Structure 1
Amino acid sequence: MEQWKKNLAVLWVGQFLVMGGMTMIIPFMSLYLQSPGIGLTDPDEIATWAGLIFAGNFVTAFLFQPLWGKLSDRYGRKVMLLRSGFGMAIVIVLMGFATSPWHLLVLRMINGTISGFNPAAISLVSATTPKDRTGFAMGTLQSGGIAGTMLGPLLGGLLADGIGFRPIFYLTGSLLFMASLLALLIVKESFDHKMAATRPNASVLEGFRQLGRIPQLTSLFAVTFLIQFAMVGPMPLLPLYVQQLHGSNENIAFWAGLVSAAAGMSNMFASPMLGRLSDRIGQERILAVSLIGAALMFVPQAVATSVWQLLLFRFLQGVFLGGLIPSVNALIRKFTPDGMEGRAYSFNTSTLSLGNMFGPLVGGVISGWIGIGGVFLVSSALFLVNAVWVRHTLAGKNRAAKSR
């Protein structure tokens, strides 16, 4: 097997375990806070701590990702990947020993601080994959993350009933440690340390300014933010929306879970196929069509009259979403100056964390003004505006290249 395929296979497993481990605790966090080892009893206190603990990871990840990106450009992507993988494995195991909500909050914030497996994996795959296979590789890597995100909450809920809360952390940390060990032994990159040492050692802020002067990257970062903002924003409202469409409380949790997972299911299968197609016809075209298609699929969700309609259109939307992240990652590599790839992918991950933080907050405010359906319509409008922006910036680049 060619080395780039070995890298892709191992990092797919790593992406799956990282995202699965990060989302596995969602179904039982409030229950874990009530367990004998922690012992919270007040419902309002439990809800507050659960929200803080969940958000803590994204806050520190948003702040520290650019630093790890800078260091990966200086010392190599594999080093940063292993630092994050082994570090998160230890932190997740320690969560199983928590005896107070403060322990969990601090550990989640540390986890966000040392995280960076995903951008390092993306950067490493983009650097080691042949250019004509970049779209396929990005799509395949994305499917690993989506699979972990989808199956994580399901496995977490099943394991919580089967083996209890604390062993889940020990199991997840052990699996992540083994995936990191596999990456240590199998994944290879050709990183020129001497060349990296000759490049100017720009600060994180200066690196952000340099990349911010490239309009194509700015629009691509905005795509990443909007994907998370638009998809995570309605998530807390989906059970209420499903209840409203279903007309009764029977099996609400089942239908809400199915509706939430529908886009992820189609996304997981569509990402590799659309990535392969983008290698043939260009990432710009796939990105444009995917943005417009995803925007249009929000509209019928806003006016759905049954749960089945909502389920169908979220599944169809997931197909278009499957073309977004792989295309964005491939194009980021295309427009990023040599030697700044790690920084670019880390900034992109920061915008993803920002979408995770602001999506539910803004979605709740919008739903209070114009209803849950309005959240979908606002997301649709934002996607369309972004499609025009991306089209303008990328087309401008192509026109400039042709004129030369």
Structure 2
Amino acid sequence: MQRWKINLAVLMGGNFLVMAGMTMIMPFLSLYLKKDLGLTDDHEVGLWAGFIFAANFITSFIFQPLWGKLSDKYGRKMMLLRSGFGMAIVIVLMGFATEPWHLLALRMLNGVISGFSPAAVALVSATTPKNRIGFAMGTLQSGGTAGAILGPFIGGLLADSFGFRPIFYITGSFLFLASVVSWLLVQESFDRNAAALKAQTSVIKGLKELLVIRQLPVLLTVTFLIQFAMLSPMPLIPLYVEKLHGTTENLAFYAGFVGSVTGISNLICAPLLGRLSDRIGASRILIISLAGAGVMLIPQAFVGTVGHLLIFRFLLGCFMGGLIPTVNSLIRKHTPDDMVSRSFGFNSSALALGNMLGPVVGGALSGFIGIEGLFVLSGVLLFLTCIWASRAIRYRKQTQVKA
């Protein structure tokens, strides 16, 4: 097997384990706080659960650009292993928490040292032939999507079988194993001496240099809006499903199905659209996917049954599968070689910001416009981003023709 294919296969598996580990805590976080960490008041449990869940994304948003800078200086594989082994240790320690603030502090630390996924993206993009970048980005994304889908399901099953604390030990062990496999099998051609000779800039100056590239602000905004559009309605979907379903019978099943069906179609379509982008261009797939996602979001505000909602959520995931991989492909295309990891670090921060603000802003706006309004707003935002992205890409083509 070619070296880039080995790297891709190993890191796709690692991406799955990392995302599964990050989301495995979601189904039982409040129960863990209540039964193992001594909280009794439901309001207090809700507050702690919200802070603990958001803590990881807050620190991740702050520190990802720093790890991206160090990755350009010391190599992507080193940052990959730093994150993998570091998160394995921190997640195991979560199982020993005795107070809510212990778990909060560890979740914040986990966000600080996270960065496996952006390092994997940077490493795969650097080792994959240019004519296969789209396929590689789609395949890598499918691993992370599968982990995000199956993580809560696996976490719930393990909690029922073994209790809460062993899940952290199991998850940490799997992350440790994924890091060992990456250490042994993943290879990267990186000249550290040559990188050390290049002038190093601060994180802020590096961001300013990257933002001069006309396409980068568009791509970072697209990443943020993808996560915002995906997550802003998510906390309210069970209530929306209840309204459409008209009864509490099998409500949990339907709510869970509606929440996961987008990820399932994303998992299926990401590699296919990635392969297609290698043939017709990543920019075309990005524009089509943005427009398609906007089209599929708006009708969700007007459906009359759960079945109709499932159809549009599934189709939304199909178009979402063409967004993140093509964004990563275009970032690699437009970024200088010595700043690739840094640009992926900023992109990871944009993703974390969307994860953090989506549910918060969605919950705040829902009191005024309802979940139906959130679907319409997200669709309109994606349409506006589509127009912005198409103009930026057209600008680049025109300047290349003139040159």
The verdict on a shared fold, with TM-score over 0.5 as the criterion, is yes
Q: 2:175 — aligned with what? A: 176
Q: Which residue does 1:328 correspond to in 2?
A: 327
- Per-residue CA deviations over 1:235-264 (Å, capped at 9, x if unaligned) read 001001001111111111111100000100
For the residue of structure 1 that corresponds to 2:337, the secondary structure is coil
CA distance in 1, matches of 2:311, 2:70: 44
**Where does 1:221-260 land on structure 2 (aligned, <5 Å)?**
221-260=220-259
The Cα of 1:194 is off from its aligned counterpart by 2.1
Q: 1:214-293 maps to which residues of 2 (within 5 A)? A: 214-293=213-292
What's the secondary structure of 2:338's corresponding residue?
A: coil
User: What is residue 360 of structure 1 aligned with on the other side?
Assistant: 359
Which ranges in structure 1 are unaligned for 5 or more consecutive residues? none
Does the residue aligned with 1:371 lie in a helix, a strand or coil? Answer: helix
1:181-240 C-alpha deviation (Å, 9 max, x unpaired): 000000000011122112111000100110111120110000000000000110001001
> What does residue 150 of structure 2 align with?
151
Report the counterpart of residue 79 of structure 2 in structure 1: 80
Q: Matches of 2:381 and 2:398 in 1, distance apart?
A: 26
Relative to the length of structure 2, the TM-score reads 0.99
User: Is 1:209 matched up with 2:208?
Assistant: yes
Residue of structure 2 in register with 1:27 after alignment: 27
The match for 1:2 is 2
Code of the aligned partner of 1:392: R
The amino acid across from 2:309 in the alignment is L
CA displacement 1:244-285 (0-9 Å, x = unmatched): 111111111111100000100000010000000000000010
Q: Cα deviation per residue 1:280-321 (whole Å; 9 max; x = unaligned)? A: 000010000000000000111010101111011000110000
The separation in 1 between residues aligned to 2:68 and 2:156, in whole angstroms, is: 34
User: Which SS does the other structure have where 1:97 is aligned?
Assistant: coil
Q: Match for 2:14: what amino acid?
A: G
Matching residue's letter, 1:179: A
* 1:117 alignment partner in structure 2: 116
1:305 aligns with 2:304: yes
Aligned to 1:46: 45
SS at structure 2 position matched to 1:174: helix
- Tell me the distance in 1 between the aligned counterparts of 2:352 and 2:177: 26
Residue 314 of structure 1 aligns with which residue?
A: 313
Gapped regions of structure 2 (runs ≥ 5): none
- Could you list the per-position Cα deviations for residues 128-169 of structure 1 after superposition, in whole angstroms to 9, with x for gaps in the alignment? 000000000000000000000000000101110011101110
Q: How far apart, CA to CA, are the structure 2 residues paired with 1:330 and 1:148?
A: 21
Shift of 1:373: 0.3
- Following TM superposition, by how much is the alpha carbon of 1:365 offset from its aligned partner in structure 2, in angstroms? 2.0
Mapped partners of 1:395, 1:339: distance in 2: 25
What corresponds to 1:343 in structure 2?
342
Q: How far 1:367 moved relative to its partner?
A: 1.4
Partner of 1:15: 15
Dislocated runs of 4+, deviation >6 Å? none
Separation of aligned partners in 2, 1:381 and 1:104:
38
CA distance in 2, matches of 1:95, 1:243: 34
Counterpart residue identity of residue 331, structure 1: L
Distance across 1 between alignment mates of 2:56 and 2:167: 18
Match of 1:392 in 2: 391
2-structure distance, mates of 1:381, 1:398: 26
In the TM superposition, residue 403 of structure 1 has moved relative to its aligned partner by 1.6
Provide the C-alpha distance between the structure 1 equivalents of 2:167 and 2:347, rounded to a whole number of angstroms: 30
Structure 2: distance between partners of 1:116 and 1:375:
30
* CA displacement, residues 104-144 of structure 1 (integer Å, 9 cap, x when unaligned): 00000000000000100000000000000000000000000
Structure-2 separation of matches of 1:272 and 1:287 = 14
Q: Partners in 2 of 1:362 and 1:205 — Cα distance?
A: 27
Partner-residue secondary structure (3-state), 1:339: helix
- Give % identity: 62
Number of residue pairs matched by the alignment: 403
Distance 2:105 2:364 in 1: 28
Q: Deviations over 1:75-95 (max 9, x none)?
A: 000000000000000000000
Q: Following TM superposition, by how much is the alpha carbon of 1:38 offset from its aligned partner in structure 2, in angstroms?
A: 1.2
